[in-house]
Chain A
Amino acid sequence: MDILRIATAGSVDDGKSTLIGRLLYETNSITKDKIEALESASKRKGLDFLDLSLLTDGLIAEREQGITIDVAHIYFSTPTRKYIIADTPGHVEYTRNMVTGASNAKVSLILVDARQGVVEQTARHLSIAAMLRIPKVIICVNKMDLVQYQESTFNAIKDSLAELVAQTTFDGQEISFLPISSLYGQNITVNASEMPWFKGNTLLGELEAFEYASTLAHAPARFPVQFVVRPMTEAYHDFRGYAGKISSGTFKVGDAIRVLPTGQESTIATIEKFDTKLSQAIAGDSVTITLTTDVDISRGNTLVLASEVQPPQLKDFSAQVCWLDHTALSPGKTYLLQHGINTTKAKISQITERLDVATQRATEGVSSLQLNEIGTIALRTAQPISADQYAANPANGAFILIDEFSNSTVGVGFVK
């Protein structure tokens, strides 16, 4: 059974949590005791309808303020697949939580309030979806009930986004528009009786039909070694296995491999998953690989196929970053850079430009990147990293920046 990860986005009060609540409600994913709890909580708030957003706003501060602060993860299944929804906050100050939630998503649902039309958050979230290279974006024009379900309102929003969509989208990204009412369940799982003019699929219909052909299994093979397994027991006296999760590509028994960054070569003897021996393994598989010869490999080394394009050993490079911390990024400062499981020191030599998400225009000569800003930086690492360009191989092209003193994750970067 496959898994589809979805992230919601959109401005505050666009009704993201209500949309998810509606989706759960209509797919019978909410048990009776939870619905009863919702009814009594809605009544306490003086509402005469079921406030489905209460299902996901789980923190005390969120319920007090009636907004979403952090990402909630919600689960439901259909006979087709298992869905994991990251319900992300709409406030601009919580964009970092939105990026966290969206980083693993294959579908981004961007909500637009039919009354408000396109706002800055719409542009920011489209921009982030492009930066993360999320393959499918569904722009849900919500609260259609408040604009009398007019086709003209929907079309006007669609038209006003056309230019921005053209600017941000990349080859292979699917973008669609959908008029909905989360509150009344229009076009969520059943076609809207109130909008006969809309001939497209419902939201659930689109999700069920989406086929994400993973390109990762066909990308060059990358296997970062997480852990060296050396049991040193009688039965496995000489066993030395390299445990990790394949980032991209396919490894087969008998393949000639190269170890990065040392350059040593060897051949795959076995690929094991617990007590099962496999003939091959692909991107996403957690396996243990043994080699035919004794080579010196430790955590952080990457195995690649000798016959394929090797990732460059990057030491001086440029990357797009999204800043996630209250303390701004400033050039000259040293951070820890974590690429996959590998950590090294990195110095930001320069901020090349900052992106204005609303206009997609770049500004040069900036001296800092503030919380939630996106820009391009030049950086130098202490040790080289075996990274690919993010656009070519997303599984091996992203990194995080960690503040050495607070230990917090302060930025996310994408190798250019």
Chain B
Amino acid sequence: MQTIQDKIGHFPRQLEDESIYILREVAAQFERPALLFSGGKDSITLVRLAQKAFFPGKIPFPLVHIDTGHNFPETIEFRDWLAKETGAELIVRYVQDSINQGKATEESGKYASRNVLQTVTLLDTIEEFKFDACIGGARRDEEKARAKERIFSVRDDFGQWDAKRQRPELFDMLNGRIAVGENVRVFPISNWTELDVWNYIKEEKMEIPSIYYSHQRQVIERDGMLWADSEYLNKEADEIPFEATVRFRTVGDMTCTAAVASDATDIDVIIEEILSAEISERGARIDDKRSEAAMEKRKQQGYF
């Protein structure tokens, strides 16, 4: 029988070498870097790479989680476990606090989520700790605005991305020089694909939150997708929750990430599923569907 490795080959280790190089440049070029940790597989991969980059030393920057309050409990549990396991410093800031302070307003309607709101909390956190570099797990294969972004992406003091002002980025030379108040978003796994990440998790035998694997869950069906039922989801009268066997392909908020029907209980089956899937990864992200330019517009506002 054909194995997964026969089909997709081994993980290209060159990608790991390149990402580790980028993380070391961040630690050397910036005074106060931070790793933006969402609890998803991409940021978990970043933590793994940071462990390797500075071994046997500790990860020389904190993990920062912007907690929307709508996270899956499994993600929060995993986050706390990983911080303890790696000995990394963990900083958590809450979107709820931004709402209480009147800096952000809860959305309404059935598609309400806190995805856009977290930018407010993120920018406040950057200011609070004076972070000059924020490392994120975004990949260029996810979305077409991301496909255009540099590895060192300079943001102004409002966190805004200006596509027309991007610096040329040649060879592997990273220019992290910024003016006071500016900061840099760094994307070390820019050149990895979704499949690369899964192949890496497999080869490295990494732990990931349980919701990536098949489980029983109460869901509703909306727009042809399965949405996790929760107290945060604004349901309409005809949206009756039912139990289904599902897993999540990407992990964001409960209000903006759809589940897929799946029996995949191990990583090989997950990879098989991705190979045969007809929907792209971010196809399950409701936040991207708002318009064709949803991602670029959010980036202009300071989203990572």
* Interfacial chain A residues near B170, Cβ < 8 Å: 99-100, 103, 398, 400, 409, 412
Stretch at the interface among A52-60, A167-175, A194-202, A358-366: A52-60
Q: How far is the CA of A233 from the CA of B170 in the complex (A)?
A: 37
- Other 13 A-B pairs with CB < 8 A, given A32-B279, A77-B9, A398-B170: A2-B14, A33-B280, A72-B148, A99-B168, A100-B170, A227-B54, A243-B54, A245-B17, A275-B55, A398-B173, A399-B173, A400-B168, A407-B178
Complex formed: what's the CA distance from A399 to B172 in Å?
10
Chain B residues with Cβ under 8 A from A103's Cβ?
170-171
Q: In the bound complex, what is the Cα–Cα distance between A295 and B164 (angstroms)?
A: 45
- How far is it, in angstroms, between the C-alpha of A230 and the C-alpha of B55 when the chains are bound? 9
Check: B278 CB closer than 8 A to any chain A CB.
Answer: yes
A231–B58 contact, CB under 8 A?
yes
Binds B, one of A107-115, A284-292, A306-314: A284-292
Whole-angstrom CA separation of A171 from B175 in the bound complex? 32
Size range of the chain A interface in the assembly: 35 or more
Main secondary structure of the interface of B (DSSP, over half): loop
Cβ of A3 < 8 Å from any Cβ of B?
yes
Contact check: which of A32, A60, A82, A408 meets B167 at CB < 8 Å?
A408
Q: Is B74 an interface residue (CB 8 A)?
A: no
Q: Which of B9, B54, B175, B293 contacts A400 (CB 8 A)?
A: B175
Once the chains bind, are A60 and B293 in contact (CB under 8 Å)?
Answer: yes
The A interface, classified by DSSP as helix, strand, loop or mixed, is mixed
The reply on A84 being an interface residue by CB < 8 A is: yes
Number of interface residues of B (CB under 8 A): 61
Knowing A73-B140, A77-B195, A274-B55, say if A245 contacts B21 (CB, 8 Å): yes
**0/1 string, B9-32, CB within 8 A of A gives 1:** 111101111101100110110000
B163 and A324 form a contact (CB under 8 A)? no
- Contacts A104-B171, A408-B167: A31 and B147 contacting too (C-beta < 8 A)? no
Nearest CB of B to A136, in Å: 18
| CA of A226 to CA of B283, assembled, Å | 39
Q: Which of B18, B179, B278 contacts A32 (CB 8 A)?
A: B278
Nearest opposing residue in chain B for A5, CB measure = B191
User: Which residues from A are CB-within-8-Å of B141?
Assistant: 73-75
B292 at the binding interface (Cβ < 8 Å): yes
Beyond A31-B278, A284-B14, A409-B169, whether A69 also contacts B164 by CB under 8 A is: yes
With A100-B169, A285-B17, A407-B178 known to touch, is A227 a contact of B296 (CB < 8 Å)?
no
**Residues from chain A with Cβ under 8 Å of B11 in the complex:** 1
Within 8 A of A (CB), among B124-172: 140-141, 143-148, 163-164, 166-172
Q: Is the CB of A34 within 8 A of B280?
A: yes
